[in-house]
Homo-oligomer: A and B are copies of this chain.
Amino acid sequence: MISQTAEYALRAVVFLAEMGGKGVTTEQIAQPTQIPAAYLSKVLQQLSRVGIVQSQRGLGGGFSLKIKTNKLSVLDVVNAVEPIKRITECPLGLDAHAYKLCALHRRLDEASELVERAFAQTTIADLMSNTKGKNVFTFPLSNKEGSRKPSQRRKS
Contact = CB atoms under 8 A, between A and B. Distances in A.
A103 B85 contact: no
B103 A130 contact: yes
B118 A154 contact: no
Interface stretch (A22-30, A37-45, A54-62, A119-127): A119-127
Contact of A107 (B11, B88, B96, B127): B127
Interface in A89-132: 89, 91-104, 106-108, 110-112, 114-115, 118-119, 122, 126-131
Interface of A: 1-2, 7, 10-11, 14, 33-34, 74, 84-85, 88-89, 91-104, 106-108, 110-112, 114-115, 118-119, 122, 126-131, 134, 136, 139-141, 145, 148, 150, 152-156
